[in-house]
């Protein structure tokens, strides 16, 4: 059953639920963060409008820096600005930042421990027609592997806004993963958000589905549908991939003893891997990881691609039944 305390969108299960790309929430959040702290600056690599950094650039032209098509420079200049006291947000598509500039992020941001905020828009297969070169499916893995890095993947635009405001204040290197295409708005302004704190959106005891990004919505649809078939599912919105909310996840493992993870990312190295590492070392239970099965994406419409690459409610249901069978053995 839905967790009332999560204050989710009352239209959650309606067909006409509002859909907004999570990058829009970032754009709003950045302006809020900048209003609150005059040390916030933003740097962009020739993608100001599509990463939604434009509102900030208009409101604070003196705090906006255009870097051009130069993502390595983007990360390292930001590190220097952080060293000189600023809170820099750097924005591009996730394949380019943190894709192309990974080592600059590793050394100049993480090893230096500078509070640079890396905003990777256009992550996931739902980027659509641009095709595989522009669909970041490995970004969680490469960011999660870095010491000092905080990794957040919001489930909708409202959460993206809150996450933006939160990482502006956390004094740490941080990565925020965003979507290009429309995503159902499942939370409300009243839904609580805290970095490192996973939220139970749907209460249940038979199986736990741990998801991030727009997959949380699909997990909720599955929970509602299977409830009618007598299967009680707990849905956890795990927006922070690092640091992982060990308490909430291990509690779910102990109480349900069957876990499914869902993410719009390679099955290797992302949310599923993080959860499996935690569970297998502390409280081993059957687990199924749903994501992109070790391959590149392709051109197509977002919905067609989510379907083709198996990020569907059908597949989530199948995995739920599988882990249920595994735990019964």
Partner 1 sequence: MTLPDSAIKHLELKANEIRQDIIKMLLEAGSGHSAGPLGMADILTALYFHILHHNPHNPDLADRDRLVLSNGHICPVLYTTLAHSGYFPVSELKTLRKLGTRLQGHPHRGSLPGLETTSGPLGSGLSQSCGMAYVAKMDQKTWRVICLMSDGEQEAGNTWEAVMFAGKNKLDNLVGVIDRNNIQIDGFTEDIMPLEPLKDKYESFNWHVVDIDGHNFQSIHDAFDLAKTIHSKPTLILAHTTPGKGVSFMENKYEWHGKAPNKQEAEEALTQLRHIEEAIRHA
Least separation in angstroms between CB 104 and partner 1: 10
Cβ-contact 177, 183 below 8 angstroms = no
Strand 87-93 relative to strand 117-121, pairing = parallel
CA distances to 98, 168, 223, 287 from 268, rounded to whole Å, are 17, 29, 25, 14
Taking the C-alpha atoms of 119, 121, 124 and 129 in order, what is their torsion angle to the nearest 10 degrees? -160
Q: Which does 259 bind (CB under 5 to 8 A by kind): ligand TPP, partner 1, none?
A: none
Active site residue 138: no
Interface size with ligand TPP, residues (CB under 6 A): 6
Among 18, 46, 203, 304, binds ligand TPP (CB under 6 A): 46
Provide the phi-psi class of 50: left if phi over 0, else alpha when psi is between -120 and 50, else beta.
alpha
| Shortest CB 206 distance to ligand TPP, Å | 45
Residue 48 Cβ vs ligand TPP, minimum distance, rounded to whole Å: 10
Q: Which is nearer to partner 1, 286 or 302 (CB)?
A: 302
Q: Is 100 in the site for ligand TPP (CB under 6 A)?
A: yes
Contact partner, 241, from partner 1, ligand TPP, none, Cβ < 5-8 Å per class: none
203 binds ligand TPP (CB under 6 A): no
Nearer to ligand TPP, 96 or 175 (CB): 96
Tell how strand 19-20 and strand 40-44 pair up. Answer: unpaired
Sites of contact with partner 1 (CB under 8 A): 44, 46-50, 66-70, 72-73, 95-96, 99-100, 128-134, 298-301, 304-305, 308
Cβ 227 to partner 1 shortest distance, Å: 33
Q: How far is the CB of 96 from ligand TPP (least distance, A)?
A: 4
Asked whether the beta carbons of 109 and 78 are under 8 A apart, the reply is yes
Q: Considering the complex, state which of residue 136 and residue 324 has its C-beta at the smaller distance from ligand TPP.
A: 136
Count other C-beta atoms under 10 Å from residue 77's C-beta. Answer: 19
Q: Which residues 6+ apart lie within 8 Å of 276 measured at CB?
A: 261, 287, 289
Task: Tell me whether residue 142 or residue 150 sits nearer to partner 1 (CB atom).
Answer: 142
Burial class (CB in 10 A: 0-12, 13-18, 19+), 3: middle
Strand, helix or coil for residue 57: helix
CA distance 26 to 122: 12
Q: Give, in degrees to the nearest 5, the angle at Cα 261 between 162 and 294.
A: 105
Shortest spacing between CB 74 and ligand TPP, in angstroms: 9
Please identify, using beta-carbon distances, which residue of 68 and 284 lies nearer to partner 1: 68
Q: Which residue is nearest to ligand TPP (CB)?
A: 46
- Give the closest residue to 71 by CA, choosing from 34, 26, 120, 23: 120
Q: Does 102 bind ligand TPP (CB under 6 A)?
A: no
Question: Least distance (Å) from ligand TPP to the CB of residue 100?
Answer: 6
- Which CB atom, from 43 or from 208, has the smaller least distance to ligand TPP? 43
- Contacts for 299 with CB less than 8 Å, ≥ 6 apart: 128, 129, 130, 131, 132
Integer angstrom CA distances of residue 292 from 38, 137, 241, 272: 40, 8, 17, 11
How far apart CA 116 and CA 88 sit, in angstroms, is 5
Task: Decide whether 75 or 168 has the Cβ nearer to partner 1.
Answer: 75
96 part of the interface to ligand TPP, by CB under 6 A:
yes
State which of positions 48-67 bind ligand TPP (CB under 6 A).
none
Q: Which of 71, 138, 199, 263 is catalytic?
A: 71
Q: Could you say which of partner 1, ligand TPP, none residue 32 binds, taking C-beta under 5 to 8 angstroms by partner kind?
A: none
Active site residues per annotation: 71
Question: Interface residues with ligand TPP (CB under 6 A)?
Answer: 46-47, 69, 71, 96, 100
């Amino acid at each position: 059953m839905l967790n009332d305390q999560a204050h989710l969108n009352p239209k959650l299960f309606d067909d006409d639920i509002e859909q907004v790309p999570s990058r829009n929430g970032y754009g709003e959040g950045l302006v809020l963060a900048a209003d609150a702290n005059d040390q916030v600056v933003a740097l962009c690599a020739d993608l100001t409008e599509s990463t939604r950094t434009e509102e900030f650039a208009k409101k604070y032209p003196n705090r906006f820096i255009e870097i051009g098509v130069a993502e390595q420079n983007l990360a390292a200049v930001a590190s220097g600005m952080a060293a000189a006291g600023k809170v820099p947000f750097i924005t591009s598509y996730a394949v380019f930042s943190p894709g192309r500039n990974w080592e600059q992020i590793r050394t100049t941001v993480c090893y230096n421990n500078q509070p640079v905020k890396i905003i990777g828009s256009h992550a996931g297969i739902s980027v659509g027609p641009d095709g595989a070169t522009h669909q970041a499916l490995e970004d969680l893995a490469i960011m999660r592997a870095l010491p000092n890095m905080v990794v957040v993947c919001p489930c909708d635009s409202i959460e993206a806004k809150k996450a933006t405001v939160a990482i502006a204040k956390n004094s740490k290197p941080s990565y925020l993963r965003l979507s290009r295409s429309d995503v159902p708005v499942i939370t409300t302004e009243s839904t609580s958000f805290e970095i490192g704190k996973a939220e139970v959106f749907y209460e249940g005891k038979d199986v736990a589905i741990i998801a991030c990004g727009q997959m949380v919505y699909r997990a909720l649809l599955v929970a509602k549908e299977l409830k009618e078939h007598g299967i009680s599912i707990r849905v956890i919105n795990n927006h922070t991939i690092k640091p992982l909310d060990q308490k909430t996840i291990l509690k779910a493992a102990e109480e349900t003893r069957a876990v499914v993870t869902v993410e719009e990312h390679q099955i290797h190295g992302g949310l599923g891997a993080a959860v499996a590492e935690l569970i297998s070392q502390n409280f081993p239970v059957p687990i199924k990881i749903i994501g992109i099965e070790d391959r590149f994406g392709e051109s197509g419409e977002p919905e067609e691609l989510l379907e083709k690459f198996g990020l569907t409610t059908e597949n989530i249901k199948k995995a739920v039944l599988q882990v249920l069978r595994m735990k019964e053995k």
